[in-house]
Amino acid sequence: MTVTSGGTPGPGPDGGTAPSPGPETGTGPDGGTPPGGSPRPGAAGRPGTPPAGDPDAARGPDTAGDPFDRDDLPAPKGATGGLLRSLLRPRRGRAVLAVLFLLLQQAASQAGPLLVAYAIDRAVPALRQGDHGPLVAVAAGFAACTAGSGLFQYAFVRTAARVSQDVLLDLRGRIFRHAQALSVDFHERYTSGRLISRSTADVESLRELLDEGLQELVTVVLSFAYISVLLLWLDAGTGAVAVVSFVPLYLLVRRYRRRARVVFGARSTAIAAVIVRFAETVNGIRPVRAFRRERANEARFLELNRTHEHTNGDASTEMARYVVGSRLVANTAVAAMVLWGAYRVAGGGLALGVLAAAVLYLRRLYDPIDRLGMFLNSYESAAASLVKIAGLLAQTPAVAEPAEPRELPVRTGAPGREVTFEGVRFAYRGGTEVLPRFDLTIPAGQTVAVVGSTGAGKSTLAKLLARFYDPTEGRVLLDGVDLRELAVPELRRGVVMVTQEAFLFSGTVAENIAVGRPDAGRAEIEAAAKAIGAHDFITALPDGYDTDVRKRGGRISAGQRQLVSFARALLADPAVLILDEATSSLDVPGERAVQRAMDTVLHGRTAVVIAHRLSTVEIADRVLVMESGRVVEDGSPAGLISGDGRFAALHRAWRESVVG
């Protein structure tokens, strides 16, 4: 196997998203009409075609500013339409059925006036002659129409709901799975708030469109079509006036769309700012209280809230403007048609009955104008949301799963595996080099401690080994197999990383430990907890292992969380274990328990330990001292301590602090 040439360009773990003055999170959980984000001004943020071969190219060129800051991930041309089509295609049978139900329902309910006319023109004279037939026909027809109207209404609502819910389920799942598949690097740059708003608010705005918007649209189009045709059939002149009146209506609609887009964009930005401030306050409530930030926060929040209020008002005003304009056009057209029609009747050019019918239909012609406005509302916001979702889905995972995964060689004897960094270099996407080219081999079963100051590249090394990132050049091998060729389950049987932030998911303590191995039984979970010294505190919780960590009495301290996340790692039982500052909040006994566990339960595994605390180093077989991305010292702890290098100096300082 050859070194993959070029490798994947660095995913750029420059977690530093530069300051973003006005992130436009498309967060518009704005009830009925979620605000649509405004499409980008100009093409500044939209690169033409992504350079081939760069999996992260969809982010756009660096020179155009960081699209992440503007929450403006460009989607390839046509991606939005493609997304909508791909969502609807599997359900097109049902969707067609829904439209059909709606057509029938409309036909049934529009038949009323015709039956009235029939009753008066035919049934009454027939009845006078003793013929009950036409009346019975009217009654039967009406009953049929009523039943049809009701039934088709019911069928339509249910079918349409089924389609729209299936689409939403599909879309929600896609967003979720895609977000989970994207690399850690991506998540460091795309804030959690944005992902949440993508999968809630933006999905919600599509729901509005599917639930109500499409029905509005079909109804509007049907009414316009039915009635225009009827009018043209009744009287070509009147019909022509009606058709002509569509021109100013169309212009109005276009103007409204253009303006609404701007207003919705502004509103979307405004609500996003409100949400960010709100979430930050709620999540940081302790420091807020302790540092008496309440008033300062309130002042800022009021300002943001007022901006949102203002844009909200703008949006409503825009709608008011549209309603006035379209109604004026419609009512003027009606007046014109009446005038002209009546004139011709008066002059004998038109039959009276025709005018009466035309006039009766005229009013109905413009009824759906308001609904058209509502449809446009939901369409604009759904379109804006879809653009954002498509932009997210267009992101390719920088750390991709292999197309043809390989298996790790079967190991006999010790459970550890050999780790090799082969000509590995790592640089940020911008080109800043974090790890210059290096080679490193960690024999199976060895425990390696990596020390060095902040920014020395320790964590990057660990993340390359855990395959959170892929190297810019070279390969990382596990028993001779490139990590990039391992499927996720195989990779995680091989390498598991425990990080400093010991995140607990909602659920019970047992469930949280079982993250390490979901099929583990209670006994195994408890054994893992015991091995790490977490059993005692867990059993002291109100419901023991079944205590919900987010519920009553489930408060768990930072140190206890780290123990739980260790228990996960024990349960996962990997061949290679990476601990990245995983003991920072533990007290000394806790740290000792971890070390004991590594000596017993995890004995024989390969381990890479990054720790500030040199006590951890004592159990290592080997120490790597890193500085500016390079390994500057490499040796056994004893050997390094006895020397006079950096590690020896660090160790002396540490001994002094411990002995005090």
Partner 1 sequence: MPGEDATTKDRSAVRSLLRLWPYVRPVRARMGTAAAVAVVASCLGLVIPLVLKWIVDGPVAARDPGGVWLGALAVLGLGIAEAVLFGLRRWLVARPLASVEAAMRADLYRHLQRVPVAFHDRWPSGQLLSRATGDLSLLRLFLIFPLTFLFVNGVTILVGCALLLAQDWALGLVLLLPVVPLIVVCGVFEGRYALAARRAQDQIGDLTTLVEESVLGIRVVKGFGRHRSQARAFREKAGRLRGTELVKARLLAAIWAVITAVPEVAIGAALVLGTVRVADGELSAGTLVAFLSTALALRWPVDSIGFLLAMSQEAATATERYFEVMDEPAETGETAPARPVPGTAPAPAAPGPVSAPGPAPAPGSGSGSGSGSGSGSTLPGGLRFEGVSFRYPDAPPEAAPVLAGIDLWIRPGETMALVGATGSGKTTLTALVPRLYEASGGRILLDGEDIAGMPRERLRGLVTVAFEEPTLFSASVAENVLMGGAADAGPGELDRALAVAQAGFVRELPEGTATQVGEQGLSLSGGQRQRLALARAVVGRPRFLVLDDPLSALDVHTEALVEAALREVLAGTTALVVAHRPSTVQLADRVALLSGGRIAAVGTHRELLRDSAEYAWLMSGEATATATGGVR
- For the four alpha carbons of 604, 608, 612 and 618, in that order, the dihedral sign comes to positive
- Is residue 592 part of the contact set for partner 1 (CB under 8 A)? yes
Which C-beta is closer to partner 1: that of 246 or that of 537?
537
Per the DSSP assignment, residues forming a β-bridge with 610 are 450, 580
Which C-beta is closer to partner 1: that of 101 or that of 421?
101
Residue 592 vs residues 408, 531, 533, 583: alpha-carbon distances, Å: 32, 11, 9, 10
Residue 508 vs residues 512, 522, 546, 563, 579: alpha-carbon distances, Å: 6, 12, 5, 15, 24
**Options 324, 400, 414, 638; binder of partner 1; rule CB under 8 A:** 324
- Is residue 499 part of the contact set for partner 1 (CB under 8 A)? yes
Which C-beta is closer to partner 1: that of 74 or that of 325?
325
Nearest approach in angstroms of CB 390 to partner 1 is: 18
Quote the CA–CA distance of 609 and 569 in Å, as a whole number: 13
Which C-beta is closer to partner 1: that of 4 or that of 297?
297
Which C-beta is closer to partner 1: that of 336 or that of 440?
336
Whether residue 243 contacts residue 68, with contact meaning beta carbons closer than 8 Å, is answered with no
Nearest approach in angstroms of CB 93 to partner 1 is: 18
Quote the CA–CA distance of 518 and 271 in Å, as a whole number: 39
Which region, judged by CB under 8 A, interacts with partner 1, from 252-260, 304-312, 378-386, 628-636?
304-312
- Is residue 184 part of the contact set for partner 1 (CB under 8 A)? yes
Q: How many residues bind partner 1 (CB under 8 A)?
A: 191
- Is residue 612 part of the contact set for partner 1 (CB under 8 A)? yes
Helices (H), 366-423: 369-393
Residues 502-521 that bind partner 1 (CB under 8 A): 503-506, 515-516, 518
Residue 487 vs residues 404, 574, 575: alpha-carbon distances, Å: 8, 15, 15
Which C-beta is closer to partner 1: that of 89 or that of 292?
292
Which C-beta is closer to partner 1: that of 100 or that of 276?
276
Nearest approach in angstroms of CB 311 to partner 1 is: 9
DSSP-based three-state secondary structure for 624: strand
Residues 396-415 that bind partner 1 (CB under 8 A): none
Whether residue 599 contacts residue 557, with contact meaning beta carbons closer than 8 Å, is answered with no
Whether residue 23 contacts residue 48, with contact meaning beta carbons closer than 8 Å, is answered with no
Residue positions counted in the chain: 660
Quote the CA–CA distance of 426 and 330 in Å, as a whole number: 66
**Options 3, 114, 225, 296; binder of partner 1; rule CB under 8 A:** 296
Whether residue 523 contacts residue 514, with contact meaning beta carbons closer than 8 Å, is answered with no
Which C-beta is closer to partner 1: that of 47 or that of 577?
577
Query: 399 — phi, psi (to 5°)?
Result: -110, 95
β-strands 473-478, 481-482: how paired? antiparallel
**Options 4, 29, 40, 544; binder of partner 1; rule CB under 8 A:** 29
Which C-beta is closer to partner 1: that of 47 or that of 516?
516
- Is residue 210 part of the contact set for partner 1 (CB under 8 A)? no
Torsion of CA 263, 265, 268, 273, to 10 degrees: -100
**Options 193, 239, 265, 637; binder of partner 1; rule CB under 8 A:** 193
Which C-beta is closer to partner 1: that of 47 or that of 449?
449
**Options 78, 284, 431, 643; binder of partner 1; rule CB under 8 A:** 284
- For the four alpha carbons of 615, 620, 624 and 628, in that order, the dihedral sign comes to negative
Query: Which residue, among 254, 256, 383, 382, has the nearest Cα to 318 in the 3D structure?
Result: 256
Quote the CA–CA distance of 384 and 205 in Å, as a whole number: 9
Nearest approach in angstroms of CB 283 to partner 1 is: 6
Nearest approach in angstroms of CB 443 to partner 1 is: 23
Question: For residue 173, what are its two tokens?
Answer: 């799942």
- Per-residue x/- marks for partner 1, 142-181, CB under 8 A? xx-xxx-xxx-xxxxxx-xxx--xx-xx--xx--xx-xxx
- Orientation angle between helical segments 92-118 and 214-234, nearest 10 degrees: 40
Instruction: Name the E strands within 407-560.
Output: 419-427, 433-442, 447-451, 473-478, 481-482, 495-498
Which region, judged by CB under 8 A, interacts with partner 1, from 46-54, 275-283, 474-482, 628-636?
275-283
Residues 102-131 that bind partner 1 (CB under 8 A): 109, 112-113, 115-116, 119-120, 123-124, 127-128
Which C-beta is closer to partner 1: that of 3 or that of 360?
360
Residues 549-578 that bind partner 1 (CB under 8 A): 550-553, 555-560, 563, 565, 568, 572
**Options 587, 618, 638, 643; binder of partner 1; rule CB under 8 A:** 587
- The one-letter code for the residue type at 533 is G
- State the greatest distance between any 2 C-alpha atoms of the chain, in Å, as a whole number: 124
- Per-residue x/- marks for partner 1, 341-380, CB under 8 A? -xx-xxx----x--xx--xx--x---x-------------
Quote the CA–CA distance of 347 and 125 in Å, as a whole number: 30
Which C-beta is closer to partner 1: that of 221 or that of 335?
335
**Options 42, 236, 536, 600; binder of partner 1; rule CB under 8 A:** 536
**Options 88, 613, 621, 628; binder of partner 1; rule CB under 8 A:** 613
Residues 427-486 that bind partner 1 (CB under 8 A): 451-454, 466, 468
**Options 54, 66, 309, 524; binder of partner 1; rule CB under 8 A:** 309
Reported as half-sphere exposure (CB side, CA atoms, 13 A), residue 587 has a value of: 5
- Is residue 26 part of the contact set for partner 1 (CB under 8 A)? no
Quote the CA–CA distance of 590 and 509 in Å, as a whole number: 18
Nearest approach in angstroms of CB 201 to partner 1 is: 8
**Options 24, 30, 235, 470; binder of partner 1; rule CB under 8 A:** 30
Question: For residue 590, what are its two tokens?
Answer: 């806790």
Residues 61-90 that bind partner 1 (CB under 8 A): none
